[in-house]
Chain A
């Protein structure tokens, strides 16, 4: 061992999920340390830290180091790790609830297990203000050994109860959409009446839109800024700095500012749109006023009717101080594979010892030896049943039985690929003149137009020339993909053909969904709701019925030569999309000729040519069969084979596990080569080795990720025997919001709003008029 006790080395390690938070905490620590005159060296280490400083930190570590989970993994994968961490006494994991629910938490847990081995006297501390089950975090913090108890729980004195209210919507409360444009003047006046306001929204595009619109009415020239993850780092730092110095009146932001950064003197938090979860909302409201004895103030602005219900449920949840962070996850196979290679980069490892160490990490406590060996095999030679790559192995077992990296270039490649966040490739959107209008064979497209912004690659791949979609506030016509750009032109189309993804990344929490169902089912709780919403629900009760607490309400009705089926599972858009995909397959088999479906956070609408209501009424179709849990068997398997979502999931598994390399600017292969190859790998593996470790990892991810299969399965089991069918003559009031998504709610701009309003009025008249 070249590691020795490092008396004057690293004493405390602080890990935060956000770079900004690490930098912020360092700043807050330095001031008192300087004032007291302590000789304590405090440094940060993030992806932005220059290489020279990183090298110096390894040789001559500070007393306190503040870093991210990825930086910890990199340090642990260097030969200096035993020296660096041998003297470590304390590790502090901040905002732990935000880390443990993702693969970053898996990586961190594996790092923590290693730290406990390098420094047996290490004390670990986790911090979290919003966690549903604190005992789980206590378990996560301690090594999983019989002689090591879980961490102690210290509950800090709770601050004053936050004041949360809802902006009272008037008659003009929208039926659907996420713009909250109707409330802009109110939001502006609130900003004016406070010192500093944070305006939280759920998506980047929402942030852009509200920021833009606020400046449109900013007659007083208030300093209003924008902060979201896609903005340039320098730009974000500038906003953060101005915020700290108290120079801003408001910042419109996304979850990029969710976590505990203390930016100056915020006295109001506005949350626009659905709160999604109680913990998330508490976290956001907590950004206002960090003095414990004074209440934080938050105002919720629902963007549509369903969001009013969600806001109301969230306000009650906050009053109960209810926490709904998801439970701890099972450790992912691909993250373990990355960690194993990292361990080999640091020093030769013995498989038995490493397996024992890995099992002390909470997410991997129940991990089987067979799976661990499969992961080691995968790292060494790809993990194939056909053992063809022995001579090309990345790690090899020496005569001493220990595994070592076979060539330094594999360590180099590991360092370049550390981390669990796989960014989707973004393509620039460039405005060109349409080749549609310039007649003539093979009319070339004029280059060199203005860049409007960026879209994710997978969205662009679904487009065909001539398709129209909404971007940067207008309806655009897709022309072509040229290298890493997509070319678009202006169009006078009134309706975008392809919907842009409008919902946030976070689904409505199961807890809040149950509260919303409870609120709907119990009329005595409606008193605090706005009159327009009460009226809406009353007419629904009269015209159809309200979904019961434990029931699944299914409505069928004809409309404009189509037959509709609308159900209300309240399980979030992702689970609903998967359900829509599977339901349409079954309806296809039942010859109901389904044509399409659309999902929002609360409901799913399927439409087709067959009269589904009549089929149910005369017993040709049983709803219990249609919604039978076994759809998650063969139907799901068949669909997954072709699913683009599944292939995207697989690509991220392949990158994290190190099968293929991340793409870096300047070193990029062409788009086509990489995309095609992971899809081909997926197809070949599915055919020849369906139990391959990466396919297993992809299936596990699909269960909780993009397809949310687990939640769908729980819902289907819950409503078994409790499906209520209402056969209606026309659209019901409750169905209007999801029906409006068919025409698409994200139409920006004046013309778009008029169309939306027109469509809405027509639907609403139909739904709300007396029988």
Chain B
């Protein structure tokens, strides 16, 4: 059977990779997003670098779309949800309302990341360094040594391919069947090429697949066929 686009198998379980960059686990009705970096622009603005202040609203609107599509029982925000620890206090009223309304009727788990290590107040949800569902551990940074299945973020994977004389770079899920690295969900987040050596610490050799985000579906490309920068 040809795997349908967007199907990702991890630890023997079937997942759906969404073209917006979210991961859905139908069996658990669990939705995972990573590296939202909310209030990144205002974090820069504090230093006088006035990035467009539309990032939080745009990222949350996309998150709302995804939540509406899958109607999950639980949502895991896999760390670096906020660009810094003060960011939750800078949320404007409408954005905060959007965030809280998304949590209505479901569990919401904030995993701590390197940008937002301390639990914040006024944003709902519960706070964890990591959580375990079945055989899978959900944490922000990929563990140095990992025996079981793992879903992590932090690295912002991007894959690059070339065809018909043009090269295309897209955010992607990087997955070898045992471990999965989530794409960064935030709108102002940059990316790291999956051929960078940081990924060699997670996946042995190039034995993984980059599920690149297309306009409305994913495209699975073997890592060995992805281009380095």
Name A406's closest neighbour in chain B (CB-CB): B48
In the assembled complex, which residues on chain B have CB atoms less than 8 Å from the CB atom of A442? 205-206
In the assembled complex, which residues on chain A have CB atoms less than 8 Å from the CB atom of B188? 677, 680-681, 684
Query: Cβ of A677 and Cβ of B54 under 8 Å apart?
Result: no
In the assembled complex, which residues on chain A have CB atoms less than 8 Å from the CB atom of B58? 684, 687-688
Instruction: Indicate if B214 sits at the interface (CB-CB under 8 A).
Output: no
Of residues 19 through 49 on chain B, the ones whose CB sits less than 8 Å from some CB of chain A are 42, 45-46, 48-49
A389 with B45, Cβ < 8 A, contacts A480-B229, A676-B191, A680-B188 known: yes
**Residues 664-686 of chain A, each 1 if its beta carbon lies under 8 Å from chain B, else 0:** 00000000110011001100110
11 A–B contact pairs at CB < 8 A? A382-B45, A382-B51, A382-B53, A441-B206, A442-B205, A465-B227, A661-B49, A672-B190, A676-B190, A677-B188, A680-B189
> How far, in Å, is B206 (CB) from chain A's closest CB?
7
CA distance A705 to B117 in the complex (A): 46
Instruction: Indicate if B7 sits at the interface (CB-CB under 8 A).
Output: no
> How far, in Å, is A596 (CB) from chain B's closest CB?
8
Instruction: Indicate if B104 sits at the interface (CB-CB under 8 A).
Output: no
Query: Cβ of A659 and Cβ of B50 under 8 Å apart?
Result: yes
Of residues 429 through 473 on chain A, the ones whose CB sits less than 8 Å from some CB of chain B are 441-442, 462, 464-465
Query: Cβ of A388 and Cβ of B45 under 8 Å apart?
Result: yes
**Residues 204-223 of chain B, each 1 if its beta carbon lies under 8 Å from chain A, else 0:** 01100000000000000000
Name A464's closest neighbour in chain B (CB-CB): B162
In the assembled complex, which residues on chain A have CB atoms less than 8 Å from the CB atom of B167? 462, 464
Query: Cβ of B45 and Cβ of A392 under 8 Å apart?
Result: yes
CA distance A410 to B52 in the complex (A): 19
CA distance A441 to B50 in the complex (A): 45
In the assembled complex, which residues on chain A have CB atoms less than 8 Å from the CB atom of B13? none
Of residues 163 through 212 on chain B, the ones whose CB sits less than 8 Å from some CB of chain A are 167, 187-192, 205-206
Instruction: Indicate if A367 sits at the interface (CB-CB under 8 A).
Output: no
Instruction: Indicate if B92 sits at the interface (CB-CB under 8 A).
Output: yes
* Cβ-neighbour of B48 out of A392, A480, A677, A687 (below 8 A): A392
Query: Cβ of A688 and Cβ of B46 under 8 Å apart?
Result: no
Instruction: Indicate if B18 sits at the interface (CB-CB under 8 A).
Output: no
Which one of A384, A388, A681 has the greatest number of beta carbons of chain B within 10 Å? A388
Apart from A394-B48, A659-B49, what are 17 other A-B pairs with CB-CB below 8 Å?
A: A384-B50, A386-B53, A386-B54, A392-B46, A409-B48, A441-B205, A441-B206, A442-B206, A464-B162, A464-B167, A481-B228, A660-B49, A672-B229, A676-B191, A677-B51, A680-B190, A681-B52
CA distance A480 to B92 in the complex (A): 44
Of residues 359 through 407 on chain A, the ones whose CB sits less than 8 Å from some CB of chain B are 381-384, 386, 388-389, 392, 394, 407
B contacts with A: majority SS: loop
CA distance A389 to B39 in the complex (A): 12
Query: Cβ of B52 and Cβ of A384 under 8 Å apart?
Result: yes
In the assembled complex, which residues on chain B have CB atoms less than 8 Å from the CB atom of A394? 48
Instruction: Indicate if B55 sits at the interface (CB-CB under 8 A).
Output: yes
In the assembled complex, which residues on chain A have CB atoms less than 8 Å from the CB atom of B228? 465, 480-481
A464 with B53, Cβ < 8 A, contacts A388-B92, A441-B205, A684-B187 known: no
Query: Cβ of B190 and Cβ of A389 under 8 Å apart?
Result: no
Instruction: Indicate if A689 sits at the interface (CB-CB under 8 A).
Output: yes
Instruction: Indicate if A413 sits at the interface (CB-CB under 8 A).
Output: yes
Query: Cβ of B227 and Cβ of A464 under 8 Å apart?
Result: yes
A673 with B190, Cβ < 8 A, contacts A388-B92, A442-B205, A464-B227 known: yes
**Residues 734-759 of chain A, each 1 if its beta carbon lies under 8 Å from chain B, else 0:** 00000000000000000000000000
Count residues of chain B with CB under 8 A from any CB of chain A: 26
CA distance A689 to B41 in the complex (A): 15
CA distance A95 to B88 in the complex (A): 55
> How far, in Å, is B115 (CB) from chain A's closest CB?
15
Which one of A413, A441, A673, A681 has the greatest number of beta carbons of chain B within 10 Å? A681
CA distance A680 to B205 in the complex (A): 31
> How far, in Å, is A350 (CB) from chain B's closest CB?
23
* Cβ-neighbour of B54 out of A661, A672, A689 (below 8 A): A689
Query: Cβ of A382 and Cβ of B55 under 8 Å apart?
Result: no
* Cβ-neighbour of B52 out of A465, A481, A685 (below 8 A): A685
Name A393's closest neighbour in chain B (CB-CB): B48
In the assembled complex, which residues on chain A have CB atoms less than 8 Å from the CB atom of B191? 672, 676
Query: Cβ of A388 and Cβ of B53 under 8 Å apart?
Result: yes
Name B52's closest neighbour in chain A (CB-CB): A684
Query: Cβ of A684 and Cβ of B50 under 8 Å apart?
Result: no
In the assembled complex, which residues on chain A have CB atoms less than 8 Å from the CB atom of B51? 382, 677, 681
Name A379's closest neighbour in chain B (CB-CB): B50
Name B47's closest neighbour in chain A (CB-CB): A392
Query: Cβ of B48 and Cβ of A410 under 8 Å apart?
Result: yes
In the assembled complex, which residues on chain A have CB atoms less than 8 Å from the CB atom of B52? 382, 384, 681, 684-685, 688-689, 692
CA distance A660 to B188 in the complex (A): 15
> How far, in Å, is A376 (CB) from chain B's closest CB?
13
List the 4 closest A-B pairs by CB distance, nearest first. Answer: A382-B50, A676-B190, A388-B53, A688-B54
Name A672's closest neighbour in chain B (CB-CB): B190
CA distance A508 to B54 in the complex (A): 43
CA distance A384 to B227 in the complex (A): 37
CA distance A464 to B45 in the complex (A): 36
> How far, in Å, is A250 (CB) from chain B's closest CB?
42
Name A684's closest neighbour in chain B (CB-CB): B52
CA distance A661 to B50 in the complex (A): 11
**Residues 465-503 of chain A, each 1 if its beta carbon lies under 8 Å from chain B, else 0:** 100000000000000110000000000000000000000
> How far, in Å, is A443 (CB) from chain B's closest CB?
12
In the assembled complex, which residues on chain B have CB atoms less than 8 Å from the CB atom of A677? 51, 188, 190
In the assembled complex, which residues on chain B have CB atoms less than 8 Å from the CB atom of A462? 167
In the assembled complex, which residues on chain B have CB atoms less than 8 Å from the CB atom of A410? 48
> How far, in Å, is B188 (CB) from chain A's closest CB?
5
> How far, in Å, is A148 (CB) from chain B's closest CB?
37
> How far, in Å, is A659 (CB) from chain B's closest CB?
6
In the assembled complex, which residues on chain B have CB atoms less than 8 Å from the CB atom of A465? 227-228
> How far, in Å, is A434 (CB) from chain B's closest CB?
14
Of residues 8 through 32 on chain A, the ones whose CB sits less than 8 Å from some CB of chain B are none
CA distance A142 to B130 in the complex (A): 69
Name B160's closest neighbour in chain A (CB-CB): A464
CA distance A660 to B92 in the complex (A): 24
* Cβ-neighbour of A672 out of B49, B162, B192 (below 8 A): B192
A413 with B54, Cβ < 8 A, contacts A480-B228, A677-B190 known: no
A389 with B42, Cβ < 8 A, contacts A481-B229, A681-B51, A688-B52 known: yes
CA distance A392 to B162 in the complex (A): 42
CA distance A661 to B51 in the complex (A): 12
> How far, in Å, is A259 (CB) from chain B's closest CB?
36
In the assembled complex, which residues on chain A have CB atoms less than 8 Å from the CB atom of B205? 441-442
Name B200's closest neighbour in chain A (CB-CB): A442
**Residues 49-81 of chain B, each 1 if its beta carbon lies under 8 Å from chain A, else 0:** 111111100100000000000000000000000
In the assembled complex, which residues on chain B have CB atoms less than 8 Å from the CB atom of A464? 162, 167, 227
In the assembled complex, which residues on chain B have CB atoms less than 8 Å from the CB atom of A660? 49
CA distance A381 to B46 in the complex (A): 11
